[in-house]
Structure 1
Amino acid sequence: MSDEKANLFGEFRRMARTSGAVGGIAARVAGQRFLGIKTDKAAHAEDLKAILGGLKGPMMKVAQMLSTIPDALPEEYARELATLQSNAPPMGWPFVRRRMASELGPAWQSRFKTFGQEAAAAASLGQVHRATLPDGRQVACKLQYPDMPTVVEADLRQLKLAMGLYARMDSSIQGGDIYDELRDRLREELDYEREAAQMRLYGLMLENVEGVRVPSPVPELTTKRLLTMNWLDGRAIQQRIEEDPSQDERNAYARTLFRAWYVPFYRYGVIHGDPHLGNYQVRPDDRGINLLDFGTIRVFEPRFVGGTVMLFEAIESGDDDKAAHAFEKWGFRDLKRDTMDVLMKWARFVHEPLMEDRERPIQETNDPLYGRKVAEEVHAGLKRTGGVRPPREFVLMDRATVGLGSVFLRLRARVNWHRLFKEMVEGFDEAELAARQAEALARAGVPAAGAVAV
C-alpha cells in the first residue's frame, strides 16, 4: 500500500472512531434540549473520555484546553475531559529504531553513547527516551509518533464539527475564533524545530528568575519530528504534593510557578499555554521547578498585555470606562454595556486573589465548585444579553490563568498574590515590552511567520 493510501486509510479509521463520539454528543444534547428526552450526560461523557483517551494526543490535548474555557463545552463533558491523560501505547524498540533512522540517518546510534530502548515518558504527540551523548551529556529525545500531521488534521475536522454542533444549541459563546486559535497552536506543535526555538526563548526570558530551570535543545540532533534536549533531574510535582510537604515548601513552589508563567507574559508578551501538572517537576536539590514542554506557546501583541494590566487597574479602582477600554484592547468588539457587566463577573473572579495586600490562598471558599458556579452565572448572563465572541488571544490566556490557579489550589499555597502581581507589572510600558519581545524572539530564532497571531 502506498504511503498516501495508508495515510488516507488511517485518517478514515480515526475519523470513524471519533465521529461516533461527536455524533453521540450531538444526539443526546439535542434530544434533551429540543425534544425533552432525558439523558445521562455524565455517563455519556465518561464513555467519550474512554474513546478519546485512547487516541494519540491531539484530541486529548484539545479536550483539556476546552475544559478550562467556561461553557465551550457542556459541564458534564468539560468535567470528564479535563481528566484525560495521554495513554497511547508506546512505540516498541524496532519501531523506534526505524523512526530514529528516518530523522538522523541509518548510522544514528553512533551519535549516542547510550540510548534507552524503553520510553522514559509519554508526550501528547510522541514519547521521550533518555540517552547519553559521546561527551557524557545526559539528554532527553522526544520522538514524534508517526503520521501525526494527518492525525491532527483529522482531529481538527472532528473538533470543528463538535464545536459547530454545540454552537447551534447554545450561542452564548461564539467559538469561531477559539477554533482558529486551537488549530494554529496544534499545527505549530507538530514542528519540533519551532519548539526548540521556543525553548531557547524561555531560557532567555527566565534566565534571571530564581528557582526555574529550562532545558536547552541540542540543535544538531533536532529535526521537525525529533527534539533532543539536556536531561533535567526531577519528579512530578503531584508526587511531592502527595507527600504533604511543609507550608513553606508549598508556598515556594507557588511563587516560583507564578513567576515562571507571568514574567514572560508581562515582560515579553509570551505565555506557556499548557499548565497541567505533567509540565513541571520539582528538583531534587532544592525547591525549584523544571519547566517542560514548549510546544504550546502564545506570543501576544503588546496591546493585549496592556489591556490585561488596564483591566486589573479598572477593577482595583472601580472604573467601568477603563474596563471597557481594556476589553477593547483585548480585542472584544462592539460590546454592549450589559454584556460587559456580565464579563466583569468573570474578570472579578479571576482577579480577586490579586486585590488584597496580604497572604491568602488562591481561593478562600471551601466550595470546590465555586468557579463553576461563577461560570454558570456568566453563561446565563451572556445568554440573556445576546452572547459574545471572545478574541482568539483569550483562549490560551484564560487556560493559563485557570489551569495555574488549579495548581495553586492543589498546592494549598498561601502567598501574597497582590505583591507578586505588582512585582510583574511595576513600570509596565507597551513600547518597552515590544522592544524586549522583538529582541528575545530574534535571539531565540522563533519564526517570524505566525509568531504573533492576530
Structure 2
Amino acid sequence: MVRYARVGTNVGTVAARLARAQLLGRGRDDATNARLFREALGNLRGPLMKLAQMLSTIPDALPAEYASELAQLQSNAPPMGWPFVRRRMAAELGPDWQSKFAGFERQAAAAASLGQVHRATTLDGEQVACKLQYPEMQSAVEADLQQFKLILALHRRMDPAIDTSEISEEIAARLREELDYRREARHAALYAEMLKPYGTIRVPKVYEDLSTGRLLTMTWLEGKPMLHFKEHSLQARNLLGRHLYDAWWQPFCNYGSIHGDPHLGNYTAVVDEKDEPIGLNLLDYGCIRLFHARFVAGVVDLYHGLMSNDRARIVHAYETWGFIGLSNELIEALNIWARFIYGPLMDDRVRPIAEGVAPGQYGRREAYAVHRTLKERGPVKVPREFVFMDRAAIGLGSVLIHLRAELNFHQLFNNAIEDFSMAKVAARQAAALVKTGMDPLEE
C-alpha cells in the first residue's frame, strides 16, 4: 500500500501537470515534463523503472521526448546489505544455507531493479552466480502495473496515434514471468538445447538444488563486456556480431523463440590469452518470448513480400501477426517501419546494421515518419505478439551499432530460413519444450 501511494503520487504529479496545461490551453513542454517523469520513476526504482525501460525501447509507444528521457534510467539499484541478504537466502534455502556453499561473496556482483547477483562457490568447487530476488517483488509489480496502465492511458489521451492496450498487456505478462525463477531456469535449459549446434555460444547451467522460485543459481561465465571490444579489429567485432546474430535469429527461425531483452548487459565475450574474442556468453533468460509457427511464417512472408514487392503477401504477413482493419494508408505506414527493420536483410552486401545512426537513435526517425501517418489515419492497435519482436529487433540492432560490426545480413538471414516451414518450426519447438520440461504452446 505504501509503494502504491508513492508510485501514484509521483506519476500523478506529472499527469496533473499535463492535464492542467491542456485545460489552460498552454503549450505542452514535453521535454520538461519528460525529464520530471524520468526523475520521478528513477527515484522509485523497482518494477516501474523496469517497465519504463522496456517502454522506452519500443519505438513510438511514447513520444520521442519521453522515450529519450526514460532510456536514461539505469538498471543498477543500491544492493541489499549483508544482513538482508542472509535473511533472504535463509528464506529460500533454509537456515543452514551457508553450509551448502564452499564460499559466498557478501558484496553483490551486480544489482538491478528486481534483484541482485552474488558470486559463490559450490561444495564441488564450481563458480556460480546466485541471482536473488528482492523481497515482496510480486506485490510491488502488481502495484506498479496499475500505475503503468495510467501512463499509457495518459499517452492515449494526449497523442492517440497508437492504441497501446495490447502493448500494456504484453509487457505486464512478460514482467510477471520475470519474477518466476523456475520458469527462467527452464528458459535457460531451452536455450542450451536450441543453441547446442553453436559451440561458441555459452549458456549457463542451472543448479536446481540451489535454486527456488526466487533464487536462481547458475554457472558463473567468465567474460568481458561488449564495449571492451569497440576498438578491436573489425574481424574481432564481426566475429562477435555473427555470434550475436546466431544467438538471436537461429532460435527464432528454427524454434519460434526470441531473447526479448537484447542489450549490452546481457552478453559478455569469451576471450583467448591475447584478449581476442572467441565466443559469446548469453547471460539472462528472464524475458523470453515464444511464438507460434504461424508468427514466424509471417516474418518470413513479409521478407519475401518486400523483396518481390508483393503487396498481397505483405498484407497477409501483417494480418498473420494480428493487425486488423488495415487501410491503404496504414499499410503504407507499416511498410515504412518494415523496410527499415528488413533493410539490412534485403541488402546483399557487407555493411553495418545502420549507417550514420547513433545507438540511442536507432529507429527513431522511421518511427516519427510512421507516427505522422498514424496520427492522421490511425489509431492502429499493435498486436501483443508484435511488441517484443519489434523491441528485440531494435535492441539487437543497437548492440550491433555499438560494436560497429559489418556483415552480410542478407546472406545470414537467408541461411537461417533456407529450409523454413511452419511444420518444421512447430515440431522443433514442441520437442524442445517437452525435453526441457515446458508445456507446448496452446492455440
Give TM-score scaled by structure 1 length: 0.92
Which residue is 1:434 aligned to? 426
For residues 131-163 of structure 1, the C-alpha deviation after alignment (integer angstroms, 9 at most, x for no partner) is 111111111100000100011001100101111
**Structure 1 residues 276-313: Cα deviation after superposition (integer angstroms, max 9, x where no partner):** 21111112333311111101110001100100000000
Name 2:320's counterpart in structure 1.
329
1:182 lines up with 2:174 in the alignment: no
Ranges in structure 1 where 5+ consecutive residues have no aligned partner: 1-11
Partner of 1:282: 269
Counterpart of 2:334 in structure 1 is 343
* 1:314 positional shift: 0.4
Per the alignment, residue 316 of structure 1 pairs with 307
CA distance in 2, matches of 1:185, 1:48: 23
Per-residue CA deviations over 1:334-379 (Å, capped at 9, x if unaligned) read 2122211111111011111111211011112457757322111101
SS of residue matched to 2:281: strand
- Residue 357 of structure 1: aligned partner: 348
SS in 1 for 2:170: helix
Aligned equivalents of 1:154, 1:349: Cα separation in 2: 37
The corresponding residue for 2:282 is 291
Q: 2:114 maps to what in 1?
A: 125
Q: Percent identity?
A: 54
Q: Is the 8 A contact 1:53 1:86 kept in 2?
A: no
Which of these residues, 253, 262, 277, is aligned with residue 266 of structure 1? 253
- Which ranges in structure 2 are unaligned for 5 or more consecutive residues? none
Matched to 1:94, the amino acid is P
Amino acid in structure 2 at the alignment position of 1:339: L
Matches within 5 A, 1:96-107: 96-107=85-96
The residue identity in structure 2 corresponding to 1:319 is D
Name the CA distance, whole Å, in 2 between partners of 1:431 and 1:247: 39
Tell me the CA shift for residue 212 of structure 1. Answer: 1.0
Pick aligned residue for 2:437 from 431, 445, 450: 445
In the alignment, is residue 215 of structure 1 matched against residue 198 of structure 2?
no
Question: What amino acid does structure 1 have at the position aligned with 2:251?
Answer: P
Stretch deviating more after TM superposition (189-198 or 170-179): 170-179
Over the residues paired in the alignment, what is the CA RMSD in angstroms?
1.8
Displacement of 1:385 in angstroms is 1.3
Alpha-carbon distance in 2 for matches of 1:29, 1:401: 32
Give the C-alpha shift of residue 175 in structure 1: 1.0
Matching residue of 1:411: 403
Cα separation, partners in 2 of 1:272 and 1:36, compared to 1, 3 Å = same
Instruction: Give yes or no for contact 2:205–2:219 (8 Å, CA) kept in 1.
Output: yes
* Counterpart pick for 2:44 among 55, 69, 80: 55
* 2:164 corresponds to 1:172: no
Contact 1:21 1:51 in 2 (8 A): yes
Q: 1:249 corresponds to which residue?
A: 236
- Residues 72-120 of structure 1 show CA distances to partners (whole Å, capped at 9, x for unaligned) of 1121110111121223221111111111111111111111000111101
- SS of 2:278's partner is coil
Aligned length: 438
Residue 39 of structure 1: how far off its partner (Å) = 4.8
1:111 and 1:189 map into 2 onto residues whose CA distance is 26
